[in-house]
Amino acid sequence: MEKFSYPVTGSTGDGYIFAKKFGHSIVDIKPALVPCEIKESWVKDLQGLTLKNVTVSAYIRNKKVFEEFGEMIFTHFGISGPVVLTMSNFINKYMKENIKIYIDLKPALTNEKLDARILRDFEKYQNKHIKNALNELLPNRMIPIALKISNINEEKTINQITKDERIRLVNTLKKLPLSFVRFRPVEEAIITSGGISTIEINPSTMESKKINGLYFAGEVIDVDALTGGYNLQIAYSTGFLAGMNC
């Protein structure tokens, strides 16, 4: 049996088997709109933490292949949420590559403006330990992680923090690094990328070009889209065409 997404809906993957038996080609099945597993162990410490108004980007061989602003969430295995699900559709064709993900925690601020903002907080809390002076800037659970990545001793007081350390903190907040490991299993994906090749289907009727009277619709076809109801529309439209012509 082929792999399939969203089994809770009753999906079994049998459509791929039937299509193969009738001589149809199946484009490789991959998870799409799916959470990502991350190498860094600290993500587990942030499990359940939602970040709003952040920018997530993905790089392949130092080339940016994705960037989007929105909302995400940390999980016990890595990251999920709307922006991450969208990203998965852009990077699933690079699954064998070394994929690097970055989170801009303060996308509304340039590095210079963020540095100025941090300086104002430092002036306000100059006698505090730095681990207790970033509460207005970051969620509490993120503070020790941001400091560790920035290689700053969290027990230092603000008046002990050097300019180089402050700049490292700015760089971390603007480009928090994550190492992509793999997607979650396709069974956990909202949709699948791949399926029955569209070149073997009549787009006006959804009838097989190989077998008269055989029609396809929805998820089983090699057509997928981003979140926002587009995949439902694909299912409705292809199902309507098939129903009107069979």
- Confirm if 28 and 197 have CB atoms less than 8 A apart: no
- The structural domains of the chain, with segments of one domain joined by +, span 7-32+187-245, 36-106+177-184, 111-174
Please say if the pLDDT value at position 3 is more than 70.
Answer: no
- pLDDT at residue number 1: 41
| Mean pLDDT computed over 123-150 | 94
CATH top-level class for 36-106+177-184?
A: mainly beta
| Mean pLDDT computed over 203-216 | 95
In angstroms, the CA 177 to CA 188 distance is: 25
- pLDDT at residue number 14: 87
111-174 in CATH: which number?
1.10.8
- pLDDT at residue number 49: 97
Check for a shared fold between 36-106+177-184 and 111-174.
no
- pLDDT at residue number 193: 86
Average pLDDT, the chain: 92
- pLDDT at residue number 92: 84
**Could you tell me what percent of the chain has a pLDDT over 90?**
76
pLDDT band at residue 6, thresholds of 50, 70 and 90?
low
Structure tokens at 12: 């079994």
